[in-house]
């Protein structure tokens, strides 16, 4: 039998606010254990939470960027569970009235087709502390307790690992762009729970899902989907009954392991958080926040294709970093040759950045450098080959291209009489090759041109060399 895969993702992102969600402690990553804490985030008796307004702002901002409607009346709830990483024995989260609902992300496949993935809800909540199990015993660090999180819950709309990865990449791009989170998976500021099930191909009814907790890289997401789909299909084919369960990813052995079944799971006994008031969000505030949303990555991509006539491939690379996109636009303003700018950035400049592992703004060149360089080439003052040399020197010492060209005497030679002398010289000193050329080995033409270029140390204008060479050789 054939099966369809059904995937829904629950994504947790840590918000990049300066302070925690219910107290003034810093949200900074790391630090000596239990130094970023106070009675509120330690859950000491009598300590009262105060909601950080920035968290609500970031929640709204994320919702707007993800096409959600904002619940203007929303509330915090207590989710009760007993575990050493939860200092109060409950998490403050949102149950029935989350801040955002009904959004979407459009993913685009390589062949250009698109698919819309629904977002069911986004809610605000606090992160738990971190447990560390050592030989000497279990330790707890509350520095992370109270760091604000948004949980973004997708609809079960994805049907392959490819789609899940496209969704997560795009979500990450949008959230980073609007500045609500740095989305560093390796530091845990973006964590992903995978819900996956299989069903007979074409069937309407969803299968029994398992939830795989805390995947922290694209690779593990992909591998976990692969493994889990195979496991579930095998179980069904063997006549086993699947049940809703929570599993964890075993990175070393590339498999999922059962943690608990949902039936046996906690009853969280949600109820309204009595220490915080219900929020009433005004339309004015929502509109103010809307104005702070910059051009989103996919909007930039579409605009670059249209405005700069870039191939999709180029637009995708250039817009994948905001710094690079800005650098590109400023350079095009200077030299008006978008394709040349894209080529230089994607070629020699990217190679340099990769080699040094730095961003474009950490190099010694500015849009003015690159724009002027392209103008020198387009005006016929230097050849493309010399341009490459000039660029590599600019990257090393930050000098302007005109300065380098002048200091090194690299100006292209377009003086026809000087070039004609060299052409004649090459032809006269290579009579054997001329004879062969005349006998039909016409591909020697490139060799003749090459000799002149060499003689001129690369500075002769290659177009003029070709033209004169053709004229002279015909005369012979």
Per rule CB under 6 A, is residue 6 in the interface with ligand ADP? yes
- Among residues 181 and 195, whose Cβ is nearest to ligand ADP? 195
Per rule CB under 6 A, is residue 98 in the interface with ligand ADP? no
- Among residues 234 and 471, whose Cβ is nearest to ligand ADP? 234
- Among residues 212 and 390, whose Cβ is nearest to Mg ion? 212
CA distance 271 to 460: 81
Minimum distance from residue 241 beta carbon to ligand ADP (Å):
15
Among 8-16, 41-49, 322-330, 400-408, the segment contacting Zn ion (CB under 5 A): 41-49
Per rule CB under 6 A, is residue 256 in the interface with ligand ADP? no
Phi, psi of 409 (to 5 degrees): 60, 50
CB contact at 8 A, 247 and 212: yes
Per rule CB under 6 A, is residue 10 in the interface with ligand ADP? yes
Contact string (CB under 6 A) for ligand ADP, positions 114-153, x = contact: ---------------------------------------x
List of residues 6+ apart from 440 with CB closer than 8 A: none
List of residues 6+ apart from 92 with CB closer than 8 A: 21, 22, 49, 76, 77, 78, 79, 125, 126, 273, 276
Minimum distance from residue 220 beta carbon to ligand ADP (Å):
18
Per rule CB under 6 A, is residue 96 in the interface with ligand ADP? no
Instruction: Count residues near ligand ADP (CB under 6 A).
Output: 16
Query: What is each CA distance from 464 to 97, 98, 443, in whole angstroms?
Result: 74, 70, 18
Question: Which residues 9-28 are close enough to bind Mg ion by CB under 5 A?
Answer: 10
Q: Which residue is nearest to ligand ADP (CB)?
A: 8
CB contact at 8 A, 410 and 439: no
Per rule CB under 5 A, is residue 175 in the interface with Zn ion? no
Instruction: Count residues near Mg ion (CB under 5 A).
Output: 1
Of how many residues is the chain composed? 476
Neighbours of 475 (CB within 10 A): 7
CA distance 325 to 315: 9
CA distance 172 to 116: 16
Per rule CB under 5 A, is residue 340 in the interface with Zn ion? no
**Residue 23 binding target from Mg ion, Zn ion, ligand ADP, none, CB below 5 to 8 Å by type:** Zn ion
Query: What is each CA distance from 110 to 117, 129, 306, 381, 435, in whole angstroms?
Result: 17, 40, 19, 40, 53
Per rule CB under 6 A, is residue 88 in the interface with ligand ADP? no
- Among residues 41 and 370, whose Cβ is nearest to Zn ion? 41
Q: How many CA atoms lie within 13 A of 401 on its CB side?
A: 25
Q: How many CA atoms lie within 13 A of 178 on its CB side?
A: 25
CB contact at 8 A, 21 and 52: yes
Among 43-51, 192-200, 250-258, 397-405, the segment contacting ligand ADP (CB under 6 A): 192-200
Per rule CB under 6 A, is residue 156 in the interface with ligand ADP? yes
Per rule CB under 6 A, is residue 191 in the interface with ligand ADP? no
Of positions 19, 27, 197, 220, contacts ligand ADP by CB under 6 A: 197
Per rule CB under 6 A, is residue 206 in the interface with ligand ADP? yes
Question: Which residues 209-228 are close enough to bind ligand ADP by CB under 6 A?
Answer: 209, 211
CB contact at 8 A, 216 and 188: yes
Minimum distance from residue 49 beta carbon to ligand ADP (Å):
23
Per rule CB under 5 A, is residue 25 in the interface with Zn ion? yes
Where does this chain bind Mg ion (CB under 5 A)? Answer: 10
Residues forming contacts to Zn ion in the complex (CB under 5 A) are 23, 25, 38, 40-41
């Amino acid at each position: 039998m054939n099966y369809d895969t059904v995937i829904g993702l629950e994504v947790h992102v840590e918000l990049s606010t300066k302070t925690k969600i219910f107290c003034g402690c810093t949200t900074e990553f790391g630090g000596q254990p239990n130094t970023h804490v106070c009675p509120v985030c330690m859950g000491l008796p009598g300590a009262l939470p105060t909601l950080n307004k920035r968290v609500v702002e970031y929640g709204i901002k994320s919702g707007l960027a993800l096409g959600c409607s904002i619940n203007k009346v929303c509330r915090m709830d207590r989710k009760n569970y007993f575990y050493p990483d939860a200092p109060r024995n409950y998490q403050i989260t949102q149950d029935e009235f989350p801040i955002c609902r009904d959004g979407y992300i459009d993913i685009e496949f390589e062949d250009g087709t698109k698919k819309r993935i629904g977002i069911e809800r986004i809610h605000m909540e606090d992160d738990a502390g971190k447990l560390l199990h050592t030989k000497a015993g279990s330790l707890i660090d509350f520095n992370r307790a109270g760091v604000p999180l948004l949980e973004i819950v997708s609809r079960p709309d994805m049907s392959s690992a490819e789609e899940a990865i496209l969704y997560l990449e795009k979500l990450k791009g949008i959230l980073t762009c609007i500045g609500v989170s740095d989305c560093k998976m390796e530091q845990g500021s973006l964590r992903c729970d995978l819900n996956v099930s299989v069903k007979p191909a074409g069937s309407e009814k969803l299968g029994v899902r398992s939830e795989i907790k805390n995947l922290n890289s694209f690779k593990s997401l992909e591998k976990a989907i692969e493994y889990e789909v195979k496991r579930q299909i095998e179980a069904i084919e063997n006549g086993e009954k699947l049940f809703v369960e929570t599993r964890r990813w075993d990175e070393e052995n590339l498999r999922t392991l059962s943690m608990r079944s949902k039936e046996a799971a906690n009853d969280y006994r949600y109820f309204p958080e009595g220490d915080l008031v219900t929020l009433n969000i005004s339309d004015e505030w929502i509109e103010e926040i809307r104005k702070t949303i910059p051009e989103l990555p996919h909007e930039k991509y579409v605009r670059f294709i249209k405005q700069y006539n870039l191939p999709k491939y180029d637009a995708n690379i250039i817009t994948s970093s905001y710094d690079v996109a800005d650098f590109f636009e400023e350079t095009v303003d200077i030299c008006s040759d978008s394709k040349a700018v894209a080529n230089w950035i994607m070629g020699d400049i990217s190679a340099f950045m990769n080699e040094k592992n730095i961003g474009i703004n950490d190099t010694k060149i500015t849009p003015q450098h690159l724009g002027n360089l392209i103008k020198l080439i387009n005006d016929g003052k230097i050849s493309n080959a010399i341009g490459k040399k000039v660029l590599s020197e600019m990257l090393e010492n930050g000098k302007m291209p005109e300065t380098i060209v002048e200091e090194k005497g690299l100006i292209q030679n377009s003086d026809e009489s000087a070039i004609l002398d060299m052409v004649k010289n090459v032809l006269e000193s290579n009579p054997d090759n001329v004879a062969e050329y005349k006998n039909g080995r016409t591909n020697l033409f490139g060799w003749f041109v090459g000799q002149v270029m060499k003689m001129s140390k690369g500075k002769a204008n290659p177009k003029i060399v070709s033209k004169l060479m053709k004229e002279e050789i015909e005369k012979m």
